[in-house]
Structures are given as C-alpha cells and as structure tokens.
Amino acid sequence: MAEGWSRLARNPAGLTGAVILSFLLLVIVAGPALAPYDPTTFHLTRRLEGPSLDFLLGTDQFGRDLLSRILTGARPAVLFGVGATALAVLGGGVAGMASGYVGGLIDEVAMRALDVVLAVPGLLFALLIVTVLGSGSANAMLAVAVSFLPGFARLARAGTLSIRERDFVAAAIARGEAHGYILRREILPNLMPPIVVEASVRVAHALMIGATLSYLGLGAQAPDSDWGLLVAEARDYLFRNGWLLACPALAIGISALGFNLLGDGLRDLLNPELDA
C-alpha cells in the first residue's frame, strides 16, 4: 500500500488529480460551513455585481452570493457523479460477471442487448430516460447510471471470461466451491483494478452529464445551487457579469479534470505491466 502511494506521488498526473480531489473533498465536507452567506438569500441592492470584498466572486440576478452557491453546489455535483457511477458499477458489474460466468445463450442474448444500448450515445440515452421519468436530480442520476451500465457490464464480462479460464478458478471448481464463492472470492478481486480505473474516469463524465442535464433544465431545479443550473441561469447575464458563467463552469471543469487525472494515475498504479 505504502509503495502504491509513493508510486502515485511519482506520477505527476495522478498526484495533481489527488490534490484536486483532496481539495474537492474538503469543499464537499465543509463547503456549506465555509460559505460566507446563505446561498438562497437575496441581496437586492447588490444584484449582478462583480467580485468585491463583500462578495468574493460577485452576485447573481437576485443578489445571491456566487461563492456560497458554488461551495454548496459542490456536494450535490460530486455526489451525483460518484452516485451515478457507483450505481452503474454495481448494476453493470453484477450483470457482466453473471453473464460472463454463466456463458452460453444467456451471455449471447445479454451482450447483444447491451450492444444495442451501447450504440446510443450516452447523453442522448440519459436525455431519453429523464424525459420518460421526469426531471429532477434523482431521476437524472438514475438516467446516467443506466446509460453507463452497459460499459461496465462489458468490462466485467470481458474480465470474467478471461479469469474463469485461469488455473485457480479451475482449482476452486475442482475443490467443489459454490458458484457464489468463486465469483466473490476468486473472480471479483481480480476484476477490481480495471473497474476502479474505469470508474474514476467515468465519475468525471457523470459529473459533466449531470451538469449538462441541469443546464438543460432536466436535472436539478431552481433554486438549487447545482453547477449546471448556475451556468444555465448565467447565460442571460453573460454580457453583464461574466463571472456568473465562468466560475461554475470552471468548477465543473476542474472537478472533472481531477477525476480524469486520478483515473490516469490509478491506471498506471494498478497496471503492473506498465512498470517494466
């Protein structure tokens, strides 16, 4: 483990990602407490102002403090990304492992069905699901999870297919172990590295799709301080207070970058072949 951390420290991309995410973690835990104002309080005399000592990032059309809104928006934004990805890993992982382990016709049918879903672009698929379920953060998260699920299922299945041919699995079968035991104790541990790497990159995607859905009015609802919603509300005021658009957009970008860089770092870390 200690060796792992030092290897991550020697990987500049991974290190940068880890630093960004540590900062993000701080904001998620302490953001609402750090916010100088209530994110929904109007300051009607101070509308659409640029940064000042009172309002470090300026104010929006109702005179709400932008910094406070971004800080309180971090938790739902990141939890959205992590939550959607976790759901997809769980669903896709179980489905992929089961399908790969069972094999045969079931595997064939399941994978062709997933191919069909994979053929639809992720954002489009998420839009479709939200349109059917109705807008809202929970539905948007579910939509992103469902659109990510086939990718993870594919990954888990591919891993399972190769691992189940290994000798230690054959040994376990020879020992007469139950299928559940083999899946949990023999296959799953060996599947985890690629899934963890994929998941960390996917979180960045989920975060951005979540912001996109909110921007389109299908995710979080006003007056939430969701980052995508902040960008959407700032559109009208682009020429009057550019900070309104730039700050939440940067927050989305930097967070996504953090997860992406960490994903790269983790891939290097968890992939022994690259160590040569």
Q: Which residue is it, tokens 């007469």? A: 176
Buried b (16+ CB within 10 A) or exposed e, 173-184: eeeeeeeeebbe
CB of 42 to other proteins, least distance (A): 6
User: How far apart are the C-alpha atoms of 220 and 218, rounded to whole Å?
Assistant: 7
> Binding to other proteins by residue 128, rule CB under 8 A?
no
Nearer to other proteins among residue 72 and residue 255 (C-beta): 72
C-alpha 89/C-alpha 155 separation (Å) is 10
In single-letter form, the type of residue at position 78 comes to V
Site string for other proteins, 42-71 (x = CB under 8 A): xxxx-x-------------xxx--------
Our CB check for other proteins shows the closer of 58 and 100 to be 58
108 vs 236, which CB is nearer to other proteins?
236
Which C-beta is closer to other proteins: that of 9 or that of 222? 222
Q: Show the CA angle centred on residue 93, arms to residues 90 and 98, nearest 5°.
A: 125
The full DSSP string for 130-154 is HHHH-SSHHHHHHHHHHHHHHHHHH
**Considering the complex, what minimum distance in angstroms separates the CB of residue 221 from other proteins?**
5
The four Cα atoms 94, 100, 103, 106 give a dihedral, to 10 degrees, of: 40
Q: Would you say 91 or 217 has its CB closer to other proteins?
A: 217
With respect to other proteins, which residue has the nearer C-beta, 71 or 130?
Answer: 130
Give yes or no for residue 40 binding other proteins (CB under 8 A): yes
Q: What number of chain residues touch other proteins (CB under 8 A)?
A: 20
| Rounded-to-integer distance, Cα 85 and Cα 203, Å | 6
Instruction: Tell me which of 94, 135, 161, 194 binds other proteins, using CB under 8 A.
Output: 135
Q: Which of 223, 242, 250, 254 binds other proteins (CB under 8 A)?
A: 223
Tokens of 52: 């000042």
Contact footprint for other proteins (CB under 8 A): 40-45, 47, 61-63, 134-135, 217, 221-223, 236-237, 239-240
